[in-house]
Structure 1
Amino acid sequence: MIEVERVMTLDHPLRDVVGFLADFSNAELWDPGTITCDRVGTGGLSVGCEWRNVSEFRGRRTELLYRLVRFDADHLTFVGHNKTATSTDDMRFEEHDGRTRLTYRARIEFNGLARLATPLLKREFDRLGDEVSERLPQAVDRALRVPPSGGGHPQ
């Protein structure tokens, strides 16, 4: 099993950050490996919602079906499966003075023969964790940016 953890501070209220990240389709904007992430089904976001995620890792594409397994005001957990691996994205949130502290933990467990590659892949996943910690705050900023008042023109 490989586990990567990063802590980020986002300049937005917790409720807004959780709302953005609860829609796993937005992984296209913040996860460097994600090529597409499409919601399966319709309706509001709740535990049990699923997304079909196509990612590229080390030049190979893979598809996982992710499910939202925990949806609390301060905690989200998504679990993705395919025949090769189980991937868990766990996000815990704390609000301080209108800003949000996000503890992001990604865990991947390989199945079968793929498990043998686990020690060799740790460095790659650490690098991806670093990229997430750069891209995720930028994606949140772009998504939650409030347009300036007065018709959108700077004063």
Structure 2
Amino acid sequence: MPTVSRTFVVEAVPGVVVPYLADFGNAEEWDPGTERCVRNDGGPVQVGSSWHNSSKIAGVSTELTYTLEQLSDDRVVLVGRNDTATSTETIEVIADGTGSRITYTNEIEFNGVAKAAAPLSKVVFEKVANDTEKQLTDVLNRLPR
């Protein structure tokens, strides 16, 4: 199961960062692979809210349904599922000076015959994690403080 993780500091405070990241529709702005991310339900974003995500990574298009599975003042866990994979994105946010320290971890579990691709996908997901860290830092630094 490929796992990638990055820790970095942004200028926005946790009280701004956590609600922004909990709304996975915002992935269109910060996730370089996301092409489209649309909420499946309405009302306030809360545990159980879900989104239809269309992504393209290394030229391969995929669609997953993401569900907000955990939400607290310092943690967001979103899980995306389709027939070939489960992607668990855990984002921890703690105060750091006047901003926030973010630890972003993505664990991908492949299903069925897709499991054979797991060892090779680690290199691809490391590159994606680098791109995500840069783009997410840029976007979060533009949020109000």
Same fold (TM over 0.5): yes
Letter in 2 for 1:38: V
Q: Does 1:86 align with 2:86?
A: yes
Task: Give the equivalent residue in structure 1 for 2:61.
Answer: 61
Deviation of 1:145 (Å) = 4.2
| Higher relative contact order, structure no. (Cα contacts within 8 Å, ≥ 6 residues apart) | 2
Give me the whole-angstrom Cα distance separating, in 1, the residues matched to 2:90 and 2:128: 15
Q: Measure, in 2, the Cα distance between the counterparts of 1:72 and 1:145.
A: 20
Alpha-carbon distance, 1:6 to partner: 0.1
Distance in 2 of aligned mates of 1:14 and 1:98: 10
| Structure 2 residue matching 1:38: 3-state secondary structure | strand
Secondary structure, counterpart of 1:122 in structure 2: helix
Who is 1:118 aligned against? 118
Map 1:63-78; keep pairs closer than 5 Å. 63-78=63-78
Does the CA-based 8 Å contact 1:55-1:62 persist in structure 2?
Answer: yes
Aligned residues: 145
Does the CA-based 8 Å contact 2:12-2:144 persist in structure 1?
no
CA distance in 2, matches of 1:56, 1:11: 29
Aligned pairs for 1:95-114 (under 5 A) are: 95-114=95-114
One-letter amino acid of the structure 2 residue matched with residue 61 of structure 1: S
C-alpha contact 1:87 1:108 (8 A) present in aligned 2: yes
For normalisation by structure 1, the TM-score amounts to: 0.90
TM (norm. structure 2) is: 0.96
Name structure 2 gaps, 5 residues minimum: none
Displacement of 1:136: 0.1
What does residue 129 of structure 2 align with? Answer: 129
| 1:20 alignment partner AA | Y
